[in-house]
Amino acid sequence: MKNQDTSDRFEELEAGRILGDLVPSEIQDWKMLSANPSNQADLSLELAAAALDAEFLTSEDTVLPEELLKKLHNGISEFVKAENEDTGLPEELLKKFHNGISESENDVIVRPTRWQGLLASSKTAWSIAALFAVLFVAKSFVEKTPADPGGLMATAPEKAASSEARKTLISKAGDLIQSEFGGTENYNQMSGTVVWSDSLQEGYMSLTNLPANDPGAKQYQLWIVDPGRDEKPVDGGVFDISTSDGTAIIPIRNPLMVTNPKAFVITLEQSGGVVVSKQEIVVALAKTS
Amino acid sequence: MVLLRVAQGDERAMEQCITKFGPLVWSIAKRHVQDHSSLEDIVQEAFTDLWKSAKRYNPAIATESTFVGLLARRRAIDFARKESRKPQLEPLPDADSLPHASIESSATLRCESEDVRAALKELPEETQQIFSLHFDEGMTHPEIVEKTGLPLGTVKTRLRRGLIDLRNKFRRLDSGQSPSNP
């Protein structure tokens, strides 16, 4: 398919996504095409649909049920309370992360009702293992298969394209977040950085000395911790490292939008990635604030 | 602008927001969800999103009602998708941001009501008809098929391409051109 055809097809599928009418085969197509860095959707189609809704559905005749109206007004104080919560990662978590994860902590399963509530509680004796116990991924509600295009084994041209795209992002994004990765006990030789832009919904990892993986057996998976968005971390995509030498540039592939990431975490998972991580192998973490 | 005051944490502005945009949020939610209790949840979640996301609102990029509509749409469609049995690999965006003002973005679509009407009139007649059935009367695709006798594929294609065309017309309007200019 020519580039223009691919771009047109992606745009049509993106319109279908916004209208909510994609069928399963189209979802697969959308996913495959969205993995291409040149197919970057902006918000314009969604804004167009919202403008239509606003135009057609704004009516003086529509009245909210009295009971709901009361609930909404009463709920304002709750919004304010939630907004004022500290959503930073507690130091205790980071300390434990850098000290490694104990066997017993690894068994802890925590399923908080509100992710940000957990993050906000600096007094809670929770660990990095507990953090990863809540890696219910919101991304794909269907298990990935080994053939899933989400995995990324970059060829030389793709690597060059990712490197260029990363440079472009760094130069154009006015809200760029940049943070350093620190490896866990068994990965302390690795280093890396992550760059991310909320407004462009685009980011890249630059990873050095991360051991090569066998894509048929294990794959790396990125998770984005965004407490302001949801209690559930967002999947940032599955990727492969083909060689331990040199630096790999990995685009972040977040199927859900991320607005204020507090941390980026890499785990090693079964081939194809997982929906619920057992946090058995935590590789690295980059904290943004 | 009420959203700018909400962004500053003005609780009174939030009350005004609920009064002003409540009916729109409610109507959007009703388009996608039938269950009354779920409807109420979606409306409440949409306003929670609004409180959290108001600081992202940029009047240069979209009108207030478009911004609120975007948040409500996401909540409602997200819920409807989760309720359906379809595989849900497509992204289900949640409360998030409009692009910052400092970023040059192709997403800018600051169209007022009259702009929307003008752009709609520029669409082919058959697309206008399907848009009216879908966005105005709230018909589902199968309902449009039944009403018009068109194949489902045609309905979907016209809606999708129509949305893309309309977005392009909005962009031209936004840059001060006539919507029909190439």
Give one DSSP letter per residue of A60-84, joined into a string. Answer: TT----HHHHHHHHHHHHHHHHHHT
Does residue A204 sit within a domain? yes
CB contact under 8 A, B18 and A45: no
CA of A105, closest CA in chain B: separation in Å?
31
| Residue B77 sits in the same domain as residue B121 | no
Share of chain A above pLDDT 90, in %: 10
CB contact under 8 A, B91 and A24: no
Looking at residue A192, its pLDDT comes to 92
| Tens-digit pLDDT profile for residues A163-204 | 888 888 888 887 888 999 988 888 888 999 999 988 777 899
Does residue A120 sit within a domain? no
Q: Which of B66, B83, B100 is the last residue of a domain?
A: B83
Rounded to the nearest angstrom, the gap between the alpha carbon of residue A55 and the centroid of all alpha carbons in its chain is 33
| Tens-digit pLDDT profile for residues A81-134 | 655 443 333 344 334 333 333 333 332 222 222 223 323 333 332 233 333 333
Looking at residue B172, its pLDDT comes to 82
| Residue A48 sits in the same domain as residue A174 | no
Phi, psi of A55 (to 5 degrees): -70, -45
Round to whole Å and give the CA distance between B177 and B159.
24
Question: Among the listed ranges A58-62, A71-75, A223-227, which one has the minimum average pLDDT value?
Answer: A58-62
**Contact at 8 Å (CB) between A106 and A132?**
no
Closest CA to A31 of B74, B160, B89: B89
Chain A residues closer than 8 Å to B18 by CB: 69, 72-73, 76
Chain B residues closer than 8 Å to A82 by CB: 48, 52
- The answer, for A170 touching chain B at a CB cutoff of 8 Å, is no
User: Residue A182: beta bridge partners?
Assistant: A191, A285
| Residue B69 sits in the same domain as residue B130 | no
| Residue A272 sits in the same domain as residue A163 | yes
If you average pLDDT over residues A139-149, what whole number do you get?
28
Round to whole Å and give the CA distance between A22 and B151.
16
Does residue B39 sit within a domain? yes
| Residue A278 sits in the same domain as residue A156 | yes
Does residue B101 sit within a domain? no
Round to whole Å and give the CA distance between B55 and B122.
34
Q: How many domains does chain A have?
A: 2
CB contact under 8 A, A43 and B98: yes
Q: Which of A62, A77, A199 minimises the CB distance to B100?
A: A199
Look up tokens 């009418």; give the residue: A21
Does residue B91 sit within a domain? no
HSE, side-chain direction, 13 A CA sphere, residue A163:
11
User: Residue A249: beta bridge partners?
Assistant: A206
CB contact under 8 A, A44 and B92: no
CA of A8, closest CA in chain B: separation in Å?
10
| Residue A160 sits in the same domain as residue A43 | no
Chain B residue with the nearest C-alpha to that of A229: B95
CB contacts < 8 A, A to B, total 233
Look up tokens 């909210």; give the residue: A64
- The answer, for A43 touching chain B at a CB cutoff of 8 Å, is yes
CB contact under 8 A, B100 and A175: yes
Q: Which of B89, B116, B131 minimises the CB distance to A142?
A: B89
- Residues in contact with B176: Cβ distance below 8 Å, sequence separation at least 6, in sequence order: none
**Contact at 8 Å (CB) between A39 and A6?**
yes
CB contact under 8 A, A24 and B87: yes
Within 10 angstroms of residue B152's Cβ, the number of other Cβ atoms is 12
Domain range spanning residue A27?
A: 3-56
H/E stretch holding A31 reads helix A24-34
Round to whole Å and give the CA distance between A251 and A236.
9
- Structure confidence at residue A244 as a pLDDT band (50, 70, 90): low
CB contact under 8 A, A138 and B68: no
Looking at residue A155, its pLDDT comes to 45
> For residue B38, what is the domain's CATH number?
1.10.1740.10
Q: What mean pLDDT is reported for chain A? A: 70
Domain range spanning residue B13?
A: 2-83
Q: In angstroms, what CA-CA distances link B98 with A48, A257, B60, B109? A: 13, 11, 11, 11
Round to whole Å and give the CA distance between A35 and B25.
33
Does residue A119 sit within a domain? no
CB contact under 8 A, A52 and B166: yes
| Residue B50 sits in the same domain as residue B119 | no
Sheet holding A247-251, edge to edge: A234-239, A218-225, A263-270, A282-287, A176-183, A191-197, A202-208, A247-251
Question: Between A66-83 and B11-32, two packed helices, what is the crossing angle to 10 degrees?
Answer: 120
| Residue B14 sits in the same domain as residue B73 | yes
H/E stretch holding A285 reads strand A282-287
- Structure confidence at residue A158 as a pLDDT band (50, 70, 90): low
Does residue B117 sit within a domain? yes
Q: Which of A20, A40, A56 is the last residue of a domain?
A: A56
User: Residue A208: beta bridge partners?
Assistant: A191, A247
Share of chain A above pLDDT 70, in %: 63
> For residue A162, what is the domain's CATH number?
2.60.40
- The answer, for A196 touching chain B at a CB cutoff of 8 Å, is no
SS (H, E, C) chain B: CHHHHHHCCCHHHHHHHHHHHHHHHHHHHHHHCCCHHHHHHHHHHHHHHHHHHHHHCCCCCCCHHHHHHHHHHHHHHHHHHHHCCCCCCCCCCCCCCCCCCCCCCCCCCCCCHHHHHHHHHCCCHHHHHHHHHHHHCCCCHHHHHHHHCCCHHHHHHHHHHHHHHHHHHHHHHHCCCCCCCC
Does residue A104 sit within a domain? no
| Residue B70 sits in the same domain as residue B119 | no
| Residue A169 sits in the same domain as residue A275 | yes
CB contact under 8 A, B107 and A48: no
User: Residue A191: beta bridge partners?
Assistant: A182, A208
Q: How many domains does chain B have?
A: 2
Does residue A87 sit within a domain? no
DSSP string, A207-232: EESPPP--TTTEEEEEEEE-TTT-SS
| Residue B10 sits in the same domain as residue B63 | yes
| Residue B68 sits in the same domain as residue B118 | no
Segments of chain B scoring below 70 in pLDDT: 83-110, 174-182
User: Residue A286: beta bridge partners?
Assistant: A264
Q: Which of B53, B73, B87 minimises the CB distance to A49?
A: B73
CA of A56, closest CA in chain B: separation in Å?
5
**Contact at 8 Å (CB) between A233 and A289?**
no
Chain B residues closer than 8 Å to A11 by CB: 164
CB contact under 8 A, A83 and B72: no
- The answer, for A156 touching chain B at a CB cutoff of 8 Å, is no
Does residue A77 sit within a domain? no
Does residue A121 sit within a domain? no
CB contact under 8 A, A51 and B11: no
Phi, psi of A87 (to 5 degrees): -110, 15
